[in-house]
Chains A and B, each alone.
Chain A
Amino acid sequence: MSIATSSQMVEMTFLKALNDAISFSMRNDSRVIVLGEDIAGGAGQGAPLEGSMGGTFGVTKGLLEEFGNARVRDTPISEAGITAATVGAAMGGLRPILDLMWASFAPNCFDQILNQAAKLRFMSGGQAKLPLVIRMAVGGGLRAAAQHSDTLYPLFTHIPGLKVVVPATPEEARGLLIASINDDNPVIFLEHMALYRTTGLVQLEPIAMELGKLGIMRQGSDLTIACVGQAALLGMDAAELLAKEGIDAQVISLRTLQPIDNEGLVACVKETSRLVVVEEGPPRCSISADIAASINESLFGRLLAPIGRVNSAATPVPFSPPLEDAHLPSVARIVEACHRVMTF
């Protein structure tokens, strides 16, 4: 990993990092367009330009003003239709970025994701190329209840033909989104809602960050905590607490779930011999289960303890705050899992 000097770095929110990645890509390539519900709110098509929302969280704010409404298209609430149009636009020569708002709405257009976007290249014997990105907000914590809080990480990862990206920091958000837009495959880009307002240092110039390479957020020699997306922030907090007890934890942001950096993960766990995987989402058929299986296959003899897993409870996400807090992975539960792995 190259470490930039601090003079080349600027502080940026996760939200702005995403916005930067999109505007950078749109400037560089006129085939890149964005579409989605409320990204422009009809502004420029009868309604005034100013005040356009830029999507629910404001990620696409300002794009309409710079690129105009041919490349920044507000859509009706028609997830099946707009996702199909995204697939078709990619096949027709554009590089569309669809804002689907929440991942919980993806079931409305799952045919387009599973049967069309993911399979068409394969089934056409390599003729179809599908350079498209579907961005979705994921995750709980906002008391938004079950129909606005899913992560669905393993659901997308399960489908051959899709790439799945889960940034944890502004730097990752910007670099991975640029790489996703440049990629010739359908990419599912999952943004945890708790991250939008977080800040971090990013390099001055936007550059792509390779898909399929994990990021080491904290060096440590006693155990590895591998995290999916926003869980990395919890993993970092847990590592701080563990450090006070003299446990030196390495924290990893997986960055992409497909492709997954198995080699990188094996290299890390070879050093520490202990692994805890943290993922927001129910435990069955999960990313944590998948990683536990593959690390077992590679490192069975070297592990000093069974692989620890921290997931959400096996329920839809509850509305009530104490229930939601109990449902979600927490720093305390990560620390607890690390203790179990350390004292096995």
Chain B
Amino acid sequence: MMISLQTLEHSFREMLRIRLFEERVRREFGKGDMPGFVHVYVGAEAIAVGVCSQLEQTDMITSTHRGHGHCLAKGVEIAPMVAELYGREAGLCHGRGGSMHIADFSKGVLGANAIVGGGIGIAVGAALAAQTLKDGRVAVTFFGDGAANQGVLHESMNLASIWKLPVVFVCENNGWAESTPASYSISVSDVAIRAAGYSIPGVVVDATDYSAMHVAAEQAILRARMGNGPSFIEAKFPRQVGHFVGDGEAYRSRDDRKSARQLDVIARTRLELESRGVDVGAIVDELGKLIGGELDSAFAAARDSKWPNIDELESYVYSN
């Protein structure tokens, strides 16, 4: 599948931006002053970019504990995201949520979610709002292979199907849920097969192939936008990193980890661009400097910025 060179190059930049962000998060987390725990999106970049680059800002997404990539691809700014990772007042959620709960409603990000499967039904409800208000918005929910075994996915698919809701289910199948392999925990070889049980078109996509991911997302979003109902995309790729930053993956064979790193979408897209005549080295240098600089100042600013005021501990529990 070929997509235009311009689109591919643009998406490569977006993916690289996420990669640079996550690599920096990993490094900075090692310094020990980032509270809590973080899960990075390394290796999955094609999914967030393939989908979100074709959404409007007003379209809505729900994300997961591994949500940084979704946020960046949907247009969330780096500095307030980083401030949130450090629990500062300047963070997107004023330090109330942290990495697993980043939300930016102004960009249509209805929130990362630390409950596995927690965002799926919410996206279906967001699609219900869009359908009822007839405002043309669509909703997308991202979730892992682990979440594919939650009952709420099944209830949500049925609901979306009978009401023909403008929602896209995107299962990010990285082969693992923490230490549990999908090959053990999932009854079918492809999660997408399950969509058929709800009369939802389901496709399996190689998420290390950016173009394939882009085309699948385009079709699903278009279907939702046209009022033709939900779609299901299972995006497969091998998990390159530990479940969380610091996970030594003792449960996983060395070979499996090594081969996963060899199937990298950034490397693969780079080759594709080069074969189509693009000077990728120049892009990498340029973005390295540009994003590197933005990250330098975002991390420095976050560390220097104010903690939330403890007198405001009880803020935000209720709407006034």
Contacts and interface: CB of A to CB of B under 8 A. Distances in A.
Contact of B184 (A45, A146, A316, A321): A45
Given A38-B179, A41-B251, A145 B147 contact: no
A313 B313 contact: yes
Contact of B307 (A37, A50, A145, A320): A320
Interface string B48-74: 000000000000000000000000000
24 contacts: A38-B177, A38-B180, A41-B180, A41-B251, A42-B183, A43-B251, A45-B184, A48-B253, A53-B179, A53-B250, A56-B178, A77-B117, A108-B115, A143-B87, A147-B101, A147-B114, A148-B114, A315-B317, A318-B96, A319-B98, A320-B98, A323-B95, A323-B96, A326-B313
A142 B44 CA distance: 27
Interface in A76-108: 76-81, 104-105, 108
Interface string B169-189: 000000001111101111000
Given A316-B317, A323-B313, A42 B115 contact: no
Interface string B103-114: 000000000011
Nearest to A54: B179
A322 B181 CA distance: 37
Contacts of B88: 320
B96 A74 contact: no
B37 interface: yes
Contacts of B147: 77
Contacts of B260: none
Interface residues of A, number: 44
Contacts of A50: 250
B228 interface: no
Nearest to A49: B251
Nearest to B186: A76
B146 interface: yes
Given A77-B177, A313-B314, A319-B101, A147 B113 contact: yes
Interface of B: 35-37, 87-88, 93, 95-98, 100-101, 113-118, 146-147, 149-151, 177-181, 183-186, 250-253, 307-308, 310, 313-314, 317
B260 to A, nearest CB: 15
B149 A78 contact: yes
Interface string A33-74: 000011001110111101111001000000000000000001
Interface of A: 37-38, 41-43, 45-48, 50-53, 56, 74-81, 104-105, 108, 142-148, 313-316, 318-323, 326-327
A42 B185 contact: yes
A327 to B, nearest CB: 6
A77 B36 contact: no
Contacts of B251: 41, 43, 47, 51-53
Given A78-B149, A318-B95, 18 more contacts: A37-B177, A41-B180, A46-B183, A47-B184, A48-B253, A53-B250, A74-B180, A74-B184, A76-B180, A77-B146, A77-B149, A77-B177, A79-B150, A145-B98, A147-B115, A319-B101, A321-B35, A322-B308
Contacts of A78: 149-151
A130 B251 CA distance: 34
Contact of A315 (B179, B184, B185, B313): B313
Contacts of A46: 181, 183-184
